[in-house]
Structure 1
Amino acid sequence: MLAALVAVAVVAVGAVVITRLVGTDRSTPTAPSASADAPPSPSPSTPPPGADITGPLNLLLVGIDTRVSVPGWEPHADAVLILHVPAGLSRAYLFSLPRDLVVDVPAFKPAGYRGGRTKLTNAMSYGSRVPDRPKQPDPAQGYELLSQVVSDYTGLRIDAGAVLTFGGFDELVDSLGGVDIHVDQRVVSRHRQPDGKHRSPGPGVGGYVGPQMVYEPGDRHLNGWQALDYARQRYLPGGDYTRQRHQQQLIRSLVGKILDTDLARQPERVEQVVAALGDMLVYVGGRRIVEFAYALGGLSPDALTLVTLPGAALGRGNAYRGEELTQTGRRFITELRAGKVDEFLAEHPKLVVPR
């Protein structure tokens, strides 16, 4: 699911959010103590790291469920989000691709995968396979294949990205004191009880039993486990497209809190945070994560536009093969590449997720 954390950018979010965990004061960030391993602070005459990044940028965030309790489980891409930042870095557009989007996945030698036409979520799992370590999948390797597939499908160059697991999500949100979300429809959890405990497995595939947490419509303040649980639910009217919208709402709430504290423009703390995250965050990029964090730290939360791409099922019932974007959804990507996305969204206002 969402592993949603996009600090000032999809790629930097997890790093910046966790900053609250390594500081002693949860209300005011403090500078880390000097150490031989900490990067030096830029002098007044030295441009901060990332100051030369002007865009455009395309950043890819992947949320995965590793299910570490299941031996040999391969990570699936439960959330695939793209942040597009035009030149000038003054605004940004965040959209999701359906996890079940049917795509062409090329052969990938490191994983021994021969290629095929399959669901987007499988690109991560197939790419993560390590032939000589069948029970130790490599998420970074899986991201490499998934990123290639996303780039081929959208025609966008992916500049950097990150993989975030479920494991640390609760703690990350709690470190910010929770998030404020407008619940737009009644959501009944398949996974959690009202007290936060996991529901017990039930009969059938994917079944659960026991009382269920319910999120009623309205403005709600959610803690870590509630935010994760709310954003995971897809057995709702609208299915995975509704879940994508909820994930994006959660990201916008997180981004607002992060930008308010200016954490993204503290390179030393971001470096410290990346190390603290450990295996919860896998970052991939040609530039350091602190550089993208700084470059995007000047974005206003109001400059982040959330976009829902309409799609349709391929096949039904037992013949269901996955999802495809509608002509409108595909055209959004075309107009995005052409730099005409604002005009397109003005013509299709229903694609924009309300604030």
Structure 2
Amino acid sequence: MAKSAKRRAPLWARLTAVFGAVLMVTSGVVLVGGNALISKYTGSLDAGTKLVGDPANGATKAGAKEIKGPLNILMAGIDPRDNKTAPLSDSIIVAHIPASMDQVFLFSIPRDLYVDIPAFPTTGFGGGKSKINAAMSFGSSVGNGKHDVEQGFQLLTKTVSQLTGIKQFDAGAIINFGGFKKIVEAMGGVTMTVDMTVKSEHLKPNGKPRDRLPSCADNTCEHPYIGVQKVYKPGTYHLEAWEALDYVRQRYGLPHSDYDRQRHQQQFIKAMAKQAMSKGVVTDPAKMLKILNAAGDAVKFGAANGTSVLDWGLALRGLDTDTMVSIKLPGGGIFEGGKYRGEGLGPNTDKFFEAVKNDKIPEFLLAHPEFVNTNS
């Protein structure tokens, strides 16, 4: 019996790590280039805490016990950039886990939301109004023309905290596009439902980059691509990694632009989480190892009290992916002097944020069912 228990332990450790990693990774969805370790925070995750590079630790019984709901997790995905380019967080998602630890509520912060970004003495930024995806940029400079996305994440955390009233996030993650693609590949692609016709801004039907206008070689054009493009039509499909990631990146040409993209990202999250916990994945140690190795290239992860992804996987083992609820925050364009400034949040979002703070989301949704993404 003792030998049998020892044989099962590595499998369980991998299983909990996969679930923890998939929750963190898929929630941030798409976006940043380069490589990164799964990391941890030293201390609580607040606006002054920095991600510290540290290989993922094994799950500990004490660590899992420290993770108790309600919990709020902030995730950001950024476009592929090197350390000489200021990052923009083009995907911002908050996951709320209630005190019961059996459900996940996801809501996206619009990338173009026009907000007050707090001052950040570290970079000399004095604060001001701008689109929220610029917060990481304003907080990322480390001198000599270089930028640190982890430092930029501090200002993004501070900005989202000020916006939502969430005083402290219990964990955070920065998502790496190249590594994330490897995770989807390790899982063998993903089966998900496409809810509308979506044309790819970036890729041809064979997955290769679309041609560019010669006049846009300097990358100053907003829409530089020409020629045939990949089209996703309504229906349920098993998408390859490049197809799934391309699909959830699209916003141009959609009826509600970034709001449609947010919904598609949340659909993707649910599909990935469900597939990650399917028998074909959790009973295949080789596949789980591939996913974990890919996660090491995809995510910078940090949590309060130094708990690891393995600890989180163990603590969140009771979550039911079928009860994952995605939230749509209403909003619309803000114009000043006829010029588009960004997006503003619609009615009752302040009440929603209050419900998040008080762990009363189900009660809020009963009174405001229009906030639920019913087709996600």
Question: What TM-score results when the alignment is normalised by the length of structure 2?
Answer: 0.77
Q: Is the 8 A contact 1:10 1:61 kept in 2?
A: no
- The percentage of counterpart residues that share the same residue type is 40
Q: Is the 8 A contact 2:179 2:297 kept in 1?
A: no
Q: Is the 8 A contact 2:76 2:174 kept in 1?
A: yes
Q: Which residue of 1 aligns with 2:247?
A: 230
Q: Which residue of 2 aligns with 1:144?
A: 154
Give the counterpart letter for 2:68 in structure 1: T
Q: Secondary structure at the match of 1:167?
A: helix
Ranges in structure 1 where 5+ consecutive residues have no aligned partner: 1-5, 18-36
**Cα separation, partners in 2 of 1:189 and 1:56, compared to 1, 3 Å:** same
Counterparts of 1:1-355 in structure 2, within 5 Å, are 7-8=19-20, 12-13=24-25, 47=61, 49-68=63-82, 72-132=84-144, 134=145, 136-156=146-166, 157-202=168-213, 203=216, 204-235=221-252, 236-260=254-278, 277-278=295-296, 280-286=298-304, 287-315=307-335, 319-353=339-373, 354-355=375-376
Superposed CA offset, 1:92-130 (max 9, x none): 200001011111111212223221111110001111111
Superposed CA offset, 1:233-265 (max 9, x none): 11110111110000000001111122335989x
Give the counterpart letter for 1:247 in structure 2: Q
For 1:177 and 1:263, the matched residues in 2 are separated by 10
Give the counterpart letter for 1:209 in structure 2: I
Q: Is the 8 A contact 2:90 2:133 kept in 1?
A: yes
How far has the Cα of 1:332 moved from its partner? 1.6
For 2:135 and 2:325, the matched residues in 1 are separated by 27
Ranges in structure 2 where 5+ consecutive residues have no aligned partner: 1-17, 30-54
How far has the Cα of 1:317 moved from its partner? 9.4
Give the counterpart letter for 2:141 in structure 1: R
Q: Is the 8 A contact 2:182 2:294 kept in 1?
A: no
Question: What TM-score results when the alignment is normalised by the length of structure 1?
Answer: 0.81
Q: Is the 8 A contact 2:25 2:175 kept in 1?
A: no
Q: Is the 8 A contact 1:11 1:160 kept in 2?
A: no
Indicate the larger mover: 107-116 or 77-86.
107-116
For 2:326 and 2:199, the matched residues in 1 are separated by 24
How far has the Cα of 1:298 moved from its partner? 1.9
Q: Secondary structure at the match of 1:313?
A: strand
Q: Is the 8 A contact 1:310 1:326 kept in 2?
A: yes
For 1:179 and 1:271, the matched residues in 2 are separated by 18
Superposed CA offset, 1:250-286 (max 9, x none): 001111122335989xxxx999977764563222322
